[in-house]
Structure 1
Amino acid sequence: MTQPIVAPCAAPSPVPSAPPSSEWWRDAVIYEIYVRSFADGNGDGIGDLLGVRSRLRYLADLGVDAIWLTPFYPSPMNDGGYDVANYRAVDPRLGTLDDARALVREAHGLGMRVLIDIVPNHTSSEHPWFAEALRDEPGARDRYVFRPGRGQDGAEPPNDWESSFGGPAWTRLPDGSWYLHLFAPEQPDLNWDNPEVRAEFEDVMRFWLDIGVDGFRVDVAHGMVKAEGLPDAGFTGQLKLLGRAPLPFFDQDGVHEILRSWRRLLDSYPGERIGVAEVWPPSPDRLANYVRHDELHQAFNFDYLAADWGAGPLRQVIDASISATDLVGAPTTWVLSNHDQVRHVTRYGGGEQGTRRARAATLLTMALPGSVYLYQGEELGLPEVLDLPDEVLQDPIFLRTAGADRGRDGSRVPIPWAYGESSSGFSPPGADPSWLPIPREWGGQAVIPQLGDPGSVLNLYRNAVRLRRTHPALGRGTMRWLDSPPDTLFFTREPGLLCTVNLGADPVVLESPGTLLLSSGDTRCDGLQAILEPDTAAWWSCTTS
């Protein structure tokens, strides 16, 4: 049963001049590249920096303002590169420092900035510092969190902390001492009370800023400081990666002193270099602490990513997110998928339904005020791969839980570029098999066939990013909710844009919504009336008050 609704929108005001280039990050569209799965340049089946360089024109044509590269440093790959053995080099499997320099230079030449990951909570167990700690060289163990055990002969862990990847967060060495690892045992936590650790990471940041990177995504930015005395957490169940409980090893107030020192370092460089926090605090208000004017520029909004498909849950998280960041004058970031989470096509139901909802979510997300993060392959409508064989899975979550948790590899499968090729265009002809198998059924979702289809997910993204960049109402600014039927979200952006989203099961009739700019699905317009189908979003240029 259709439900008529009048969707008023303020009359367009004169188009303002383009915003100044300053504070580019407030409304940027930033594209995450999981380097090992983006493009293989040398034919070994593993994505690399050469592959990224070969696809920079694609990203520029997509219209993104910046790219974010996951770790490409030397690593034993016990956690997909987030176990770093050398912070000032490139893993030989992924390229060279010259490749990194060329990538930054070429991206800048195409008008895109480059952000890279920095991993400050822990190193690899193969980092030279930890090798020195294992030998118990003078002062070496103070760079990490070592403690004596509890119980008879110190045979029990120092406290009840659990690893985010399963099992206890402590490992005992043959000499009886214990070291902390909030993630895998191959990722020992650093001791940020040690001035040597702080000085080392500031030097690492200078190294990459001097190469020309435009900023850092800070991995586990809320995890560097632990509560004094390392008290028990009082767990009743296994720690989850996106948990919201207050914990003695996450979101401690002392972390903000570190981030303020990093902001001063970033501000000392020209070109508006930025810091982006990966944080999972208990509330939006705690999240806002990370983006105060003297701390980092952005923080990922995981509450939005985790929201259920529905008008109520989405409006609630949108309002809470904007209210929290507005208090500190920061932009809100919006993200639907990343390398740690199930792809949103699958989260929204999978199949045709999941694809329709994902397309609608794209227009909703890009119409919101603030900055948008895209994860490679979402612009192709890729789903999570749920049937990877056990023998190819590499995520430590899978290994540490003995397969009870399948882990995150399903979101990290290499993306397809061409239809009908053995590697779907991910690798050059004759290359080794890709490190994770690419589903055969993804052929029609590859980049090249989608480029030629005006109705493809890829072209929806290209059109949305283009409009977001050129329409004066989109990007930074404010929004105003309108009254709308149940299971819908209507809001305006000034000057002159209306976003309508139907999250329900029935079509909705719109009266006088304006001129259709872009729709995620079939939207029938007949004179002054339009029909918005279920699981569909549309942008309208408003002409009525």
Structure 2
Amino acid sequence: MTDLSEHRPFSESQAAPWWTRAVVYQVYPRSFADSDGDGIGDLNGIRSKLDYLAELGVDVVWLSPVYPSPQHDNGYDIRDYEDIDPVFGTLDDFDALLAEAHDRGIRIVMDLVVNHTSDEHEWFRESRSSTDSPKRDWYWWRKPREDGSAPNGWTSAFSGPAWTLDETTGEYYLHLFAKQQPDLNWENPEVRHAVYAMMRRWLDRGVDGFRMDVINLIAKRAELIDGPERGAGDGFVMGPQIHEYLREMHREVFDGREGAYLTVGEMPGVSIDDAALFTDPTQQEVDMVFQFEHVSLDQGAHKFDPIPLDLVALKTSLARWQVGLAETGWNSLYLNNHDQPRLVSRFGNDTDYRYESATLWALVLHLHRGTPYVYQGEEIGMTNVRFESIEHYRDIESLNHYREAVEEFDQAPSSVLGAVHAMGRDNARTPMQWTAGEQAGFTTGTPWIAVNPNYPEINAEADRASGTSVFAFYQRLIELRHTNDTVALGDFELLEPSHPTLYAFTRSSSSERLLIVANVSDDPFTGDLPLDVSTAELLLGNYPVDADLPLRPWEARLYRL
């Protein structure tokens, strides 16, 4: 068996960074736990659930934004980077959360949203006040073209144009997302150093790192902003300065600072080669990236054009990233987050085989090489929601898509709503289902978005009391990553790459070889497993132990060969 330590930077457990065997849990604060009955989750609600998270075994909690915000994009439009929105609590509440999490051995990672601010941020207020404002070039301003139109034809990620005309000065400003989210101009060093200073203050407060929202969009190509009608991605995805900016950020924020920090960059459109450079430890940019290739495979012409899962394509994609970052770099592992539909509804069977398909995907994901991310509710098998009317939805992306598709493109409302049911971001944002009690135990008031009606059956209390507990399965997976060097650091090899329903791969180290087999199907798998398991040890499975049976529907097994 190959000794991987000869060529893998993180193969020796004693030398590997702490996050190679860590598991991150993402909290969406608005929807996690409400302590004061106003219907919106808050910091004290999160504090009340720290023992739950400690029992699960996670090492890091990543908080989606809790800064002051007008909430046009649920907190990703930040009014003030230095404070806490009153709806979530106070800085004292944050300090208490931080201290109590650290007491339990849990690190806290903040969301860093610095591609754009809110249009209510003082920086933008000053920038738009006059063309002579000292902060004018902190954002992307351009004069109209001769016909009065926008500088170019780019469109926003949330529908409509990416440029809005500001009547005060008669110029357009760039916003890659909502018009209330103007993009910062990172070519201005004053912008960069203001951001770095803010980051340092959060680290001084005790924060353990940052998840960086769409961070590869901060580097724009100015010559394309000024008019050429090329694809928008040519102008703002992976601009030529991006590595320079991230290295500068690391140098200005983290160099010379004691502590064990985590940095992960969300990077739409990133390639494997790019990711290897971003996460190469010698480059000192980020520890890992979030890429989107695998969560785009069930989309047709656009996000709201869902198509059935092609397991071969998914296996191929994830394996490419495993191999591509094996020599240098590190993978993040996720199938759920605040922007994605619920995993068990998207890639599993959330009715007849909800427990089995939830635990199958958990085993498959956590046994890949990389740092796993668990999104709140994933650990109890929460499902998508199917609200009967678009009026029940809150997500700006879904609402804009529905309006545009129905009003401008004359699509049938029922068809458009069906696509929102399948792919809308509110699937992940309905309140955490804690109990079978009123409002799923999330709040004593009226929740900001309705609770999924299935909460009497699917909730943390019921799951943990069940003989088939998704939570307990996640506990075991997290424990394996903490204690088993092969799970954390071993080599990856995909088996049966063209099989339409069997997901099989090995993880290998100098001391052992593990086999993962999973039947991604409502039908039994009756063929032969790719390797002989007659003398293998079954370490974990999601059905009662019976190694002589073929793989049952949605059955997953972990063997030590």
Amino acid corresponding to residue 458 of structure 2 in structure 1: Q
Aligned counterpart for 1:448 among listed residues 421, 438, 461: 461
Aligned counterpart for 1:409 among listed residues 419, 422, 426: 426
Q: Measured at CA, do residues 302 and 353 of structure 1 come closer, stay the same or move farther in structure 2, by a change above 3 Å?
A: farther
Aligned counterpart for 1:281 among listed residues 261, 266, 269: 269
Aligned residue in 1 for 2:525: 507
Instruction: Kindly state the Cα deviation for residue 332 of structure 1 after the two structures are TM-superposed.
Output: 1.2
| Structure 2, unaligned runs of 5 or more | 3-10, 299-308, 406-415
Inter-partner Cα distance in structure 2 for 1:301 and 1:121? 17
Q: Measured at CA, do residues 228 and 481 of structure 1 come closer, stay the same or move farther in structure 2, by a change above 3 Å?
A: same
Inter-partner Cα distance in structure 1 for 2:152 and 2:495? 51
Give 3-state SS (helix, strand or coil) of 1:40's partner: coil
Amino acid corresponding to residue 136 of structure 2 in structure 1: R
TM-score using structure 1 length = 0.88
Give 3-state SS (helix, strand or coil) of 1:531's partner: coil
Aligned residue in 1 for 2:321: 321
Residues 332-481 of structure 1 aligned to structure 2 (within 5 Å): 332-348=331-347, 350-352=349-351, 355=354, 356-387=356-387, 389-403=389-403, 404=405, 406=420, 407-419=424-436, 421-427=437-443, 431-481=444-494
Amino acid corresponding to residue 325 of structure 1 in structure 2: L
Inter-partner Cα distance in structure 1 for 2:278 and 2:485? 29
CA contact under 8 A between 1:305 and 1:337: conserved in structure 2? no
Q: Measured at CA, do residues 481 and 374 of structure 1 come closer, stay the same or move farther in structure 2, by a change above 3 Å?
A: same
Give 3-state SS (helix, strand or coil) of 2:249's partner: helix
Aligned residue in 2 for 1:292: 280
CA contact under 8 A between 2:322 and 2:492: conserved in structure 1? no
CA contact under 8 A between 2:316 and 2:497: conserved in structure 1? no
Give 3-state SS (helix, strand or coil) of 2:234's partner: coil
The answer to whether structure 1 residue 212 and structure 2 residue 234 are counterparts is no
Give 3-state SS (helix, strand or coil) of 2:224's partner: coil
Aligned counterpart for 1:158 among listed residues 136, 151, 160: 151
Q: Deviations over 1:122-151 (max 9, x none)?
A: 110110111112221622221110000113
Aligned residue in 1 for 2:141: 146
Instruction: Kindly state the Cα deviation for residue 368 of structure 1 after the two structures are TM-superposed.
Output: 1.0
Amino acid corresponding to residue 210 of structure 1 in structure 2: D
Inter-partner Cα distance in structure 2 for 1:306 and 1:402? 20
| Structure 1, unaligned runs of 5 or more | 1-8, 11-16, 240-245
Q: Measured at CA, do residues 390 and 502 of structure 1 come closer, stay the same or move farther in structure 2, by a change above 3 Å?
A: closer
Amino acid corresponding to residue 40 of structure 1 in structure 2: D
Give 3-state SS (helix, strand or coil) of 1:352's partner: coil
CA contact under 8 A between 1:70 and 1:117: conserved in structure 2? yes
Instruction: Kindly state the Cα deviation for residue 354 of structure 1 after the two structures are TM-superposed.
Output: 6.7
The answer to whether structure 1 residue 58 and structure 2 residue 71 are counterparts is no
**Residues 306-315 or 443-452, more deviating:** 306-315
Instruction: Kindly state the Cα deviation for residue 302 of structure 1 after the two structures are TM-superposed.
Output: 2.3
Inter-partner Cα distance in structure 2 for 1:76 and 1:338? 22
CA contact under 8 A between 1:120 and 1:219: conserved in structure 2? yes
Aligned residue in 2 for 1:254: 241
Aligned counterpart for 1:516 among listed residues 538, 541, 548: 538
CA contact under 8 A between 2:107 and 2:207: conserved in structure 1? yes
Q: Deviations over 1:287-308 (max 9, x none)?
A: 3332232210010132233456
Amino acid corresponding to residue 94 of structure 1 in structure 2: F
Q: Measured at CA, do residues 165 and 354 of structure 1 come closer, stay the same or move farther in structure 2, by a change above 3 Å?
A: farther
Aligned residue in 2 for 1:6: none
Inter-partner Cα distance in structure 2 for 1:299 and 1:95? 30
Aligned residue in 1 for 2:260: 272
Instruction: Kindly state the Cα deviation for residue 31 of structure 1 after the two structures are TM-superposed.
Output: 0.6
Instruction: Kindly state the Cα deviation for residue 347 of structure 1 after the two structures are TM-superposed.
Output: 1.4
Inter-partner Cα distance in structure 1 for 2:473 and 2:60? 19
Instruction: Kindly state the Cα deviation for residue 234 of structure 1 after the two structures are TM-superposed.
Output: 4.4
**Residues 33-42 or 506-515, more deviating:** 506-515
Instruction: Kindly state the Cα deviation for residue 473 of structure 1 after the two structures are TM-superposed.
Output: 2.2
Q: Measured at CA, do residues 151 and 350 of structure 1 come closer, stay the same or move farther in structure 2, by a change above 3 Å?
A: farther
CA contact under 8 A between 1:30 and 1:68: conserved in structure 2? yes
Q: Measured at CA, do residues 479 and 184 of structure 1 come closer, stay the same or move farther in structure 2, by a change above 3 Å?
A: same
Residues 88-99 of structure 1 aligned to structure 2 (within 5 Å): 88-99=82-93
Amino acid corresponding to residue 20 of structure 1 in structure 2: Q
Instruction: Kindly state the Cα deviation for residue 107 of structure 1 after the two structures are TM-superposed.
Output: 1.0
Aligned counterpart for 2:554 among listed residues 514, 535, 538: 535
Instruction: Kindly state the Cα deviation for residue 103 of structure 1 after the two structures are TM-superposed.
Output: 1.2
Q: Measured at CA, do residues 52 and 416 of structure 1 come closer, stay the same or move farther in structure 2, by a change above 3 Å?
A: same
Instruction: Kindly state the Cα deviation for residue 350 of structure 1 after the two structures are TM-superposed.
Output: 4.5
Amino acid corresponding to residue 515 of structure 1 in structure 2: E
Q: Deviations over 1:45-87 (max 9, x none)?
A: 1001111111011111111111100000000000000000000
Q: Deviations over 1:311-369 (max 9, x none)?
A: 52233112210232234x21211101111111122212543367343321110111111
CA contact under 8 A between 1:347 and 1:354: conserved in structure 2? no
Q: Measured at CA, do residues 484 and 409 of structure 1 come closer, stay the same or move farther in structure 2, by a change above 3 Å?
A: closer
Amino acid corresponding to residue 158 of structure 1 in structure 2: P
The answer to whether structure 1 residue 37 and structure 2 residue 31 are counterparts is yes
Instruction: Kindly state the Cα deviation for residue 497 of structure 1 after the two structures are TM-superposed.
Output: 2.5
Amino acid corresponding to residue 214 of structure 2 in structure 1: V
Q: Measured at CA, do residues 361 and 233 of structure 1 come closer, stay the same or move farther in structure 2, by a change above 3 Å?
A: farther
Q: Measured at CA, do residues 151 and 271 of structure 1 come closer, stay the same or move farther in structure 2, by a change above 3 Å?
A: same
Instruction: Kindly state the Cα deviation for residue 445 of structure 1 after the two structures are TM-superposed.
Output: 1.3
Amino acid corresponding to residue 276 of structure 1 in structure 2: V
The answer to whether structure 1 residue 168 and structure 2 residue 167 are counterparts is no
CA contact under 8 A between 1:523 and 1:531: conserved in structure 2? no
Aligned counterpart for 1:112 among listed residues 106, 118, 141: 106
Q: Measured at CA, do residues 159 and 415 of structure 1 come closer, stay the same or move farther in structure 2, by a change above 3 Å?
A: same
Computed over aligned residues only, the root mean square deviation of the Cα atoms, in angstroms, reads 2.4
Aligned residue in 1 for 2:117: 123
Aligned residue in 1 for 2:312: 312
Aligned residue in 2 for 1:492: 506
Amino acid corresponding to residue 60 of structure 1 in structure 2: A
